Amino acid sequence: MSTPQSPLHLARRRAVQAVAATGAATLLLVGCGSSGSSDKASSDKGSPSAATTAGASTAAGSPAAPAAGDKRTVKDATGTAVEIPAEPKRIVTLTQEDLDAVLALGLKPAGITNGQGLNEPPAYLKDKVQGIPVVGNLLQPVMDKVIAAKPDLILAGDMQDQQVLKQLREITPATLVTMAPTDDWKLSFRGIGNALNKLEQANKVIADYDAKAVKAGGELGANKGAAVSIVRWNPTGPSWMEKKQFASGVALDMGLTRPKAQDKDGNAHTPALSLEKINEIDGDWLFLSTLTDDGKAALKDVQSKPAYQELGAVKNNHTVTVDGSVWSTRGGPLAADVVIGDIGKALAAK
């Protein structure tokens, strides 16, 4: 996630996507009550409605608060059933998407990792995580630091390293993979909400986001429905984002469109383009992000070249530089709020 993707990496990712297309990212509830409970609910894997249905017994009807020591069983994004505390108190997040979700639900984690491509927490969340111990880099936990955080629940993002997962589950069996490769942020967020016994609140957060996106899109004046190109600049060149990638999804929720060359389903970035194909990144507006210093240097270098200067968005002064550690992530409600703000600030001003 945090580094530019080589063709081999992309090929591996596509293979994982094919296998995990039915991943149960919604962390479905299959039992609640004491640690011995095993009542089963339906397990419609990967379905947002399944998350709502599975969580209905806890989200609706305002049940009594669980007693200390109560457990629930959920299925994580791999379909693995995991017993977790009914009301987790010390949550460790291993990705900024997990962190974003936990903060959006009004909880304070006991440990976090650095942001994507960063050696510090994500800037857009920094004021919300002051004083929280950092236990490693993105999906690269330092086990001694995780142990020191004394977690009763670990949210492990899209962790695929089975050896690391084994080590984490030795610290606490309540370790959940929260994202499958094909899951969008809303699906993952609902699943995390269900795992934290806050599904009803998670659904409200998404409803509020949807309303905000529509309202912001309606305030873009002459730029309503504009075709926005969303690009991450890697050291090897630009990669545009497919339509189901996080930031693209936010733009579409605002009623914007994607350039014809980028009108492709999927939730990944394309392979880096050569200078000869740079016209693929053109649009009414061009949003550019980077994740590394090498990427920033490569972008600065190409901006002086005729091929870049001939892009319509460049000629019209419709290029916007944005934070890659927000725009290039799997996303969450707080990141989505940043993207809405970035788009609104740029397009509503013209």
Q: Residue 223: what residue type?
A: N
Q: Where are the domains of the chain?
A: 20-209, 219-347
Architecture of domain 219-347: 3-Layer(aba) Sandwich (3.40)
Tokens for 58? Answer: 């806890």
Asked if 314 and 302 touch (Cβ cutoff 8 Å), the reply is no
Helices (H), 159-236: 162-171, 185-195, 199-217
What residues contact 133, with CB distance under 8 A and at least 6 apart?
Answer: 110, 111, 112, 145, 148, 149
The pLDDT tens digits of the residues spanning 200-222 come to 999 999 999 999 999 999 999 99
20-209 placed in CATH 3.10.20.600: no
- Using CA atoms, how far residue 47 sits from 88, 97, 315, in Å, is 24, 19, 44
The pLDDT tens digits of the residues spanning 295-328 come to 899 999 999 999 999 999 999 999 999 999 899 8
Residue 294 pLDDT level (bands cut at 50, 70, 90): confident
Least confident of 26-30, 226-230, 277-281, 289-293: 26-30
Which strands, in side-by-side order, build the sheet including 175-176? 91-93, 153-155, 175-176
The pLDDT tens digits of the residues spanning 32-47 come to 333 333 332 233 333 3
pTM: 0.81
